[in-house]
Structure 1
Amino acid sequence: MKTHNLKQATTVFLFTFLYGCIATSQRSDTATSSPYTIGYTSLPSGIIEIYEGTAEGTSTITSTQENGGYVAWSPNGKKIAFYGKYDDKKTWSIRTMHIDGTNRKRLTHAKNKWDNAPDWSPDGKSIVFAREYKNSEGFWYPEIWIMNADGSEQRQITSLRGSNPIFTPDGRIVFSWEFEDKTSAISIVDIDGKNVIRLTHHSAQEWHPEVSPDGSQIAFMSDRDGNFEIYVMDIDGSNQKRLTNNNVDDWYPSWSPDGSHLIFSAATGEKREDRTIYMMHANGSSIRPIIKGGAQAAWLKTVK
């Protein structure tokens, strides 16, 4: 009887020890051990869809029946902002709607300009977005704009030339500063356009910054090593690390609500619709495909 108890106690101890080692050797899996929600553009249809998945591999996909891209979730998870195309695709405008497809609104109406990449302020009261258009000399010019969440009081942040703006939890803006030589750099700035700090310093194209939910890190895409890969760095630009290493382009990183995982899109064929959305740990490990024929994916940051 004493021998049986000893064996049982030893087994329990070993299990507890091994479980503790595993738990401390990798980051939390809470983002994939419970249901998660992702908004993305389905290809080739161009329709925004909502994907709800679990770690066990079960999933449901709901179509919004709305064409558009660059999905951005409101802080409460009830609405999305995105861009839609008009005038035979010559005009792009920011739109919003509830995730069930109701209450659809067009917020911007600037003709022959491409309004894209919207993001909500932490309090949900404002939306920042990028605007691109051909200037009088025929060159594309990038601007950063901001407006109230209902589309009112639209105004340019005049000191900024760039794209892909996104709010930090403390209300600043991270964006891709675009230079005349076609290179770009991830930068951070106050909401009034003052105190711009350049965070990356490579002769490369560096786009689509995504700030982690706790505001400590930025994920982004860069072609500094030959083709677009996903990188991560601290909010002050330090500790820059490459997370993916593929012979195809990787785009559009997005953080899980707890910051333990990232999703991104990658080309998996020659056609535009040959793209797949992947998930990985925040350190770049355990990459796996989750959605075929999808791009510009954004993780719902609100934990349900």
Structure 2
Amino acid sequence: MLVHMPGLNSGAAYSPDGRILALTLSYDRTVELYLKTAEGRSLRRLTNSIAVEASPCWSPRGDKICFVSDQNRAPQLYVIGVGGGSPVRLNTIGTEAVSPAWSAEDKIAYSAKMGGNYTIAVLDMKGNTPSRSVINAAGNWESPSWAPDGRHIVCMHTAGGRSSLYIVDSWTGKLRPLIGGGRFNYSLPSWSGIFR
């Protein structure tokens, strides 16, 4: 068992080198991000606010963490260095930004609430490029996960009470169904680094 603390224990994400685990804990009365060594010997609090902070994901170099915080009421994306400090809010689109995933090409895919639905948006961290939506289709598009090629994203699509998985080309917006239909719902995809 990696972590067993009173309260919430969720959102664990390994650093790129596999040595540190970023996770969400609530044992100290607030929901904060913590860093823990993979062997479980050291636990360090990374954030410190009255807001809920969750869904950590690591930068490709392992020096920063993107996460979701509701410190401005609606959930938005922030970045903090692994050494701590003040989190910086990212320039996202939509009224809410959740479920970040950071690619090896230094791009962050996330679910952006636009109107009443979520879509998948991408923010390039290398330059001053604003966030852009990569899907122009009905329904809710959530839980993005990057392919190792840094171009394709697997995500969950929900419409009519049913959930299925799609692959979207982040350059063209072209959608390809992966699995869905029938009597099952599919959710929370994660792309393995094994398959290219």
TM-score, length-scaled by structure 2:
0.84
Structure 1 residues 159 and 150: CA distance shift in structure 2, 3 A: same
Deviation of the 1:178 alpha carbon: 1.8
- 1:99-147, Cα deviation, whole Å (9 max, x unpaired): xxxxxxx222123x22222111111111101235795xxxxx4311111
Partner AA of 1:173 in structure 2: I
Among 252, 255, 259, which residue is 2:150 paired with?
259
Give the partner amino acid of 2:33.
Answer: I
Q: 1:13-65 CA deviation, whole Å, 9 max, x = no partner? A: xxxxxxxxxxxxxxxxxxxxxxxxxxxxxxxxxxxxxxxxxxxxxxxxxxxxx
Verify: 1:184 aligned to 2:75, yes or no.
yes
Q: 1:189 to 1:170 in 2, by over 3 A?
A: same
Q: Cα deviation per residue 1:226-254 (whole Å; 9 max; x = unaligned)?
A: 31111001116632111123332111111
1:268, distance to aligned residue in structure 2 (A): 3.3
The residue type equivalent to 1:206 in the other structure is A
Alpha-carbon distance in structure 1 between the residues aligned to 2:123 and 2:160: 29
Show structure 1 runs of 5+ residues with no match. 1-105, 136-140
Separation in 2, partners of 1:253, 1:107: 25
Q: Aligned partners of 2:28, 2:36: CA distance in 1, in Å?
A: 22
Q: What is the identity, as a one-letter code, of the residue corresponding to 2:167? A: M
Decide whether the 8 Å contact of 1:185 with 1:200 is kept in 2: no
2:8 to 114, 128, 131: 114
Q: 2:166: which partner in 1?
A: 278
Distance 2:28 2:17 in 1: 33
Give 1:117's aligned amino acid: G
Is structure 2 residue 21 aligned with structure 1 residue 127? yes
1:159, CA displacement in angstroms?
Answer: 3.1
Tell me if structure 2 keeps the 8 A contact 1:200–1:237. Answer: no
Larger RCO, structures 1/2 (Cα 8 Å, 6+ apart) = 1
Asked if structure 1 preserves the Cα contact closer than 8 Å seen for 2:94 and 2:113, the reply is no
Partner of residue 220, structure 1: 110
CA shift for structure 1 position 202: 6.0
How far did 1:224 drift? 3.7
What's the counterpart of residue 179 of structure 2? 291
Task: Identify which of 165, 184, 196 aligns with 2:56.
Answer: 165
**How many angstroms apart in 2 are the aligned matches of 1:211 and 1:122?**
11
Give distance in 1, aligned partners of 2:43 and 2:135: 37
Q: Secondary structure at the match of 2:48?
A: coil
For the 8 Å contact 1:128–1:146, the answer to whether it is kept is yes
Decide whether the 8 Å contact of 1:244 with 1:284 is kept in 2.
no
Match for 1:265: what amino acid? M
8 Å Cα contact 1:185-1:202 kept in structure 2: no
Deviation at 1:204, TM superposition (A): 2.1
Say if 1:149 and 1:237 are closer, same or farther in 2 by CA, change over 3 A: farther
Letter of the 1:175 partner, please give it.
F
Percent of aligned positions that are identical: 23
Whole-angstrom distance in 2 between the partners of 1:110 and 1:246: 41
* More displaced stretch, 193-202 vs 170-179: 193-202
